Amino acid sequence: MFMPLFSQSQTSFSYWLPRVLTMLFVIFMGFVANAEIDSKYEYPDVLTASALHYIPTAIVAIAGAIAWRKEKLGAFAMVFLGLLYIALGWGSQSIWAFLAVSGPLFLIGAIFLRNDLENKKKLIS
């Protein structure tokens, strides 16, 4: 017989929700980074500004790629990145910036962790 492309658990809403949220959040971070890079920068400075604004986006994308296969590791990576943003921005960012960046990371990390624990519970029973 032929093997299905996706297992039953991979077609569920709870499987795809954190993955889609991660992709949407990376797109959001890219838009924010792109908006920060203004025409006020000259040629050499625009390269530095681009790197500084797109590196966090790339790090979240890498954490999402890790979480795609290893949900528990990805969950802890997302929560760690949210805590890191709070630690590095403490005193210089508003509460809204913390909520806009760390909030989705905590939520995505919690959903990935819930999925991992749910999958382990299914394997045990």
For 16-73, the pLDDT digits (tens) are 999 999 999 999 988 888 776 666 667 777 778 778 888 989 999 999 999 998 999 9
Alpha helix stretches (DSSP H) within 1-125: 13-36, 43-69, 71-89, 95-124
Contacts of 30 (CB under 8 A, 6+ apart): 54, 57
Instruction: Give Dmax over CA atoms of the chain in angstroms.
Output: 62
Instruction: Give the integer Cα–Cα distance in Å for 67 and 61.
Output: 10
Q: What is the pLDDT of residue 10?
A: 59
Tokens of 70: 């290893």
Q: What is the pLDDT of residue 38?
A: 66
Q: What is the pLDDT of the chain when averaged over all its residues? A: 84
pLDDT at 6 over 70: no
% of the chain with per-residue pLDDT over 70: 86
